[in-house]
């Protein structure tokens, strides 16, 4: 239960660079990365009017539901999910078994191009997450220093 997922600046910058390149190379409107628990990790492209926190939670819900369906039909997992809209389309894939990569694109791109670029980006992202998981395991003892007073103070206002 109490395991943690820790992200440091170095990995965040690497992830952001991969997402920015994917946005460019796939002609995407938005590239979005979240984890399976609904936490936003990174988001690049036209994100100004996008509620990224809600998006992260709903994407995680969707991947969880798809995983549930996969189990019912004896499939391991659906690695890719595609939504086709009137204007915009959404391509969702799972990276390194635990992270959700979402690409939102319109008619300036195509599903074929997106899939091709996602494949390359996924390999790079998987390497970054491998490093992240190693660092998480070795762990920062930051919160070991939290006192009861620190916690109480948060609620004293």
Partner 1 sequence: MSFINYTNREITCKIVYYGPGLCGKTTNVQWIHAQTAQEARGKLISLATETERTLFFDFFPLALGQIRGFKTRFHLYTVPGQVFYDASRKLILKNLDGVVFVADSQDERMDANVESVENLLTNLQDQGDELSKVPYVMQYNKRDLPNAAPVDEMRRLLNPLGAPEFEAVAPTGVGVFETLKQVAKLVLADLRKNT
In the complex, minimum distance from the CB of residue 14 to partner 1, in angstroms, rounded to a whole number: 11
User: Tokens 């970054």, residue?
Assistant: 128
Select the span of 25-33, 75-83, 100-108, 146-154 touching partner 1 (CB under 8 A): 146-154
Cα distance between residue 75 and residue 124, in whole Å: 26
Q: Least separation, in Å, of the C-beta of 116 and partner 1?
A: 29
Residue whose tokens read 């494949």: 119
Q: How far is the CB of 50 from partner 1 (least distance, A)?
A: 12
Q: Which of 9, 48, 84, 86 binds partner 1 (CB under 8 A)?
A: 9
Strands 89-95, 30-35: pairing kind: unpaired
Residue span binding partner 1 (CB under 8 A) among the ranges 1-9, 89-97, 101-109, 117-125 = 1-9
Residue number, 5 or 27, with CB nearest to partner 1: 5
Give yes or no for a contact between 10 and 131, defined as CB atoms under 8 angstroms apart: no
Rounded to whole angstroms, how far apart are CA atoms 35 and 129?
A: 11
Cβ burial of 20 (10 Å; 0-12, 13-18, 19+) is middle
Tell me which residues touch partner 1 (CB under 8 A).
1-9, 12, 35-39, 51, 53-54, 57-58, 61, 64-65, 67-68, 139-146, 148, 150-152, 154-155, 157
């Amino acid at each position: 239960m109490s395991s943690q997922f820790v992200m440091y600046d170095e990995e965040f910058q690497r992830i952001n660079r991969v997402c920015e390149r994917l946005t460019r190379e796939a002609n995407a409107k938005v590239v979005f990365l979240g984890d399976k628990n609904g936490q936003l990790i990174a988001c690049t492209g036209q994100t100004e009017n996008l509620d990224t926190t809600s998006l992260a939670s709903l994407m995680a819900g969707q991947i969880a539901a798809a995983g549930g369906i996969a189990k019912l039909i004896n499939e391991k997992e659906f690695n890719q999910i595609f939504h086709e809209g009137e204007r915009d389309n959404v391509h969702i894939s799972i990276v390194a078994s635990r992270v959700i990569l979402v690409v939102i694109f319109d008619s300036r791109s195509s599903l074929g191009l997106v899939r091709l670029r996602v494949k390359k980006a996924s390999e790079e992202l998987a390497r970054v997450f491998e490093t992240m998981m190693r660092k998480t395991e070795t762990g920062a003892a930051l919160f070991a220093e939290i006192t009861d007073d620190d916690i109480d103070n948060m609620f004293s206002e």
